[in-house]
Each structure stands twice: as structure tokens, then as C-alpha cells.
């Protein structure tokens, strides 16, 4: 998959999950760490951030920024994934699902970074000649 396809795939995924955050927020509310305050507000903010990243990724002129923002967002929401493991530890099925989700975040961070790197005029340290 080339980086344009990767960017569009990420944009599609983030559009879907961002819309879910806004249309069906309850499941997302349940994994927001209580230390962050108003769970619904955090869920909505996360959904809006995902939709914003999707738009940035979909537009070739903003793909670099979109990739960087996507990588940062995937890192920023990782604590919620860790919290969900802790929260659902007593349920074997939910624990298995939440544990399985933890390593899946890594390819999303990497995909965002790869899109940003490929779209950067400097290559963000990419050793390949341009």
C-alpha cells in the first residue's frame, strides 16, 4: 500500500471512529480515565480530533500535518486503552479484547508517522534521495 492509499485508509478509519464517538459516545465514555474529568466532553473532543485528522489526511496539501496529528492523537489516546484493560480486568472476554487492542495502536501511530514522513519536503529524516 503506498502512502496515499495509507493516508486515505487512515482517513476512512478515523472518519468512522470519529463519527462513532459523536453518535454513540457511551462505550467511549466508559474507557476515559476519570482523572481527565468530564468523560463525555473528552469523548466528544476525541471524536472531533479524529474527524479533524481524517480531513487533514484526505487532502493532499495537508497530509503531512494530518499524519503528524494522527500519530500524536494515537499516542494521546493510548492511556484510555491502558485504563480499559484495568477497568475490565475482571471480565475474561473484555480483558482479552482490551489487551489485544494495546499492540494494535502501534501500527496506527506508525502509519500516521509514515504518511507525514512521505509528505514532508524534508522527508523528516528519511535517508532516501528525493
Strands (E), 1-130: none
Mean pLDDT value across the chain? 91
In the predicted structure, residue 126 carries a pLDDT above the cut 70: no
Give me the residue label for grid cell 475474561.
Answer: 92
- Measure CA of the first residue to CA of the last residue in the chain; give whole Å: 20
Q: For the segment 21-73, what is each residue's pLDDT rounded down to a tens digit?
A: 999 999 999 999 999 999 999 999 999 999 999 999 999 999 999 999 999 99
Q: For the segment 82-92, what is each residue's pLDDT rounded down to a tens digit?
A: 999 999 999 99
CA triplet 85, 39, 20: central angle to 5 degrees?
80
Domain boundaries, the chain: 3-119
C-beta of residue 108 within 8 angstroms of C-beta of residue 70: yes
Amino acid at each position: 500500500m503506498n502512502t496515499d492509499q495509507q493516508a486515505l485508509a487512515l482517513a476512512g478509519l478515523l472518519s468512522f471512529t470519529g463519527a462513532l464517538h459523536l453518535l454513540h459516545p457511551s462505550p467511549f465514555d466508559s474507557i476515559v480515565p476519570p482523572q481527565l474529568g468530564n468523560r463525555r466532553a473528552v469523548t466528544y473532543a476525541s471524536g472531533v480530533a479524529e474527524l479533524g485528522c481524517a480531513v487533514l489526511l484526505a487532502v493532499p496539501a495537508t497530509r503531512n500535518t494530518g499524519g503528524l496529528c494522527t500519530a500524536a492523537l494515537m499516542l494521546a489516546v493510548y492511556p484510555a486503552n491502558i485504563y480499559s484493560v484495568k477497568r475490565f480486568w475482571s471480565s475474561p472476554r473484555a480483558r482479552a479484547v482490551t489487551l489485544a487492542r494495546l499492540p494494535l495502536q502501534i501500527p496506527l501511530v506508525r502509519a500516521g508517522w509514515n504518511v507525514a514522513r512521505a509528505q514532508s519536503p524534508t522527508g523528516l529524516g528519511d535517508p532516501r534521495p528525493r
